[in-house]
Amino acid sequence: MAYDLTGKIKLIQDAKTFDSGFTKREMVVIVEDGKYPQEINLEFVQEKVTLLDSLRPGQKVTVTFDIRGREYNGRYFNNLQGWKIDAAEDASATGIDEQSPPFPTPSDFGDEDIPF
């Protein structure tokens, strides 16, 4: 079963490759949850580590992930394993400021602004 979460990237760690050839990369996403924001750690494995290459801290994303669980020496562990990322359109990357007004139209100018 797949789950989604939306938040801002806090950090993206470097990829780690183990002797067995297994590769993983982790990132932390801050999710606003009432009074206390939650810092959620997600891991990406094998070919999915490249999904993080074009992302940067502060960027808003929606991550689709699966919950993985296992037992080791009588203890139980859970991991959130990401497999899809949708990055929100970043206004600063496009050069568009959401607060700036649109381009002026001829009706925005009064008669005294016309140079002729």
> How far, in Å, CA of 58 to CA of 38, rounded?
15
Domains identified in the chain and CATH numbers: 3-90 (2.40.50.140)
Residues 41, 52: Cα–Cα separation, whole Å: 13
Spatial distance between the Cα atoms of 29 and 36, rounded to a whole number of angstroms: 14
pLDDT, one tens digit per residue, over 53-81 is 999 999 999 999 999 999 999 999 999 99
For the chain, percent of residues with pLDDT exceeding 70? 77
pTM of the predicted model as reported, rounded to 2 decimal places: 0.71
* 41 beta partners: 28
